Chains A and B, each alone.
Chain A
C-alpha cells in the first residue's frame, strides 16, 4: 500500500488546471465530489453520478463520440472502474482522439466503510488498461509524474488512461445536486442550447 501516497485534493487541480476546457463525466462517490469541487458546483460542464456503478466510462465514451470537437474526460474511482472493466476494451476499440479516463485509485471502497479494494490487494488498473489496448497510459504515483500526465490530459491525441494513486483521505467536502435529470438538462443547455 506504500505507493498510495498522493492527496487527491492536491493532485487533481494540478492535473486539470483548466477544468472548463473539458466535458467531464464522473463515477459515483469521491470522484464526483472531486470534479464538482474542481469545476465549481454551479458549472454545467460535468455530469456526476451517484449510482449506475460501472457506467462512467461508457457514458463518457458516448459523449465523446457525439462531440468530437470537445475534449471529454471520465473521472472515476478504482471500484467504479473495476465494476465494468471491460469498458476499457470498448474505449480501445473506438479510440476516440478526444477522450480520456482519469482513474482516482485509492485502493479502497471509500464510500462504504473504506474496505480495501482489488487495487489495494495488487490489481494494477494501468496494466489492465494497456492490456485492453489503450495506447496512451500515464501513471501518477508521485508529484514528479504530474507534469507529463497534465500534458497528456490537455493535448493527448488518442484515447488515454491516467492512473492516479492517492491515499484514502476524503475527497473535497462539497454539496452537489443528486438530481440526474436536472444535471442532464443543465449540461445539455450549456453545451447544445437545448434542454
Chain B
C-alpha cells in the first residue's frame, strides 16, 4: 500500500508536506540528511515512508557523492541540509560538476534573516556566493507561496539539465530560532 502523506497538524505550515509530495511525485526515492530543525518535517516524513530510503549522513558531502551513485543506478536523490553544512560539500561538488550528475539539495538557511546566534552568521553570509563560485545554481525561497514553483524549477534543472541546484529556504519562511 503506498504511503499516504499526512496532513499537517492544525496551525502548522503546509509547505514541507507539499515539497515532500512534489519530490516524491518527481520520482525521488533517496532522501539523505544531516538533521536540522528547519527540515524536521520532511526528514520525519522520509523516515516514516517505507517507499523511500531515508539516509542519515555523518557529513553533508556524503550526500553529494550518494546522489551521483543513485544516478548511476537510475534513482533520484535529494540532500536535505542546513546552510552551514553546505560548506562541507565544496570539494565533493567536483563530482557532479565534471561528471554532469544531477545534484539537488534543499538547504535550510541559518545566518540570514533575523539570525540571533552570531556563530551562524559567517556561513549564512558566505554560502550562496561560495556555492555559486562552484557553479551551483541557487534558488532562494522567502515565502511559502514560492515553494511549488521554485522546487519544480529546481528539479527540472537538476534531473533534466543535469545541473547542481540548491534551493535555499530563508529564515523569513522557516521562522527565526530564539536565543
Contacts and interface: CB of A to CB of B under 8 A. Distances in A.
Q: How large is the interface on B (under 10, 10 to 19, 20 to 34, 35 or more residues)?
A: 20 to 34
Contacts of A94: 53, 55
A25 B69 contact: yes
B81 interface: no
B69 A60 contact: yes
Contacts of A53: 91
Nearest to B77: A62
Interface of A is mostly: helix
A151 B100 CA distance: 36
A140 B71 CA distance: 32
Contact of A65 (B75, B95, B99): B75
B70 A65 contact: yes
A39 B56 CA distance: 32
Interface residues of A, number: 37
A13 B77 CA distance: 33
A49 interface: yes
Contact of B94 (A23, A52, A56): A52
Contacts of A61: 55, 66, 69
Q: Which 10 A-B pairs have the closest CB atoms?
A: A66-B73, A62-B69, A86-B58, A55-B65, A62-B66, A180-B99, A66-B75, A59-B69, A63-B69, A58-B62
Interface of B: 29-30, 53, 55-59, 61-75, 77, 91-92, 94-95, 98-101
7 contacts: A47-B72, A58-B69, A62-B67, A62-B77, A87-B58, A188-B71, A192-B73
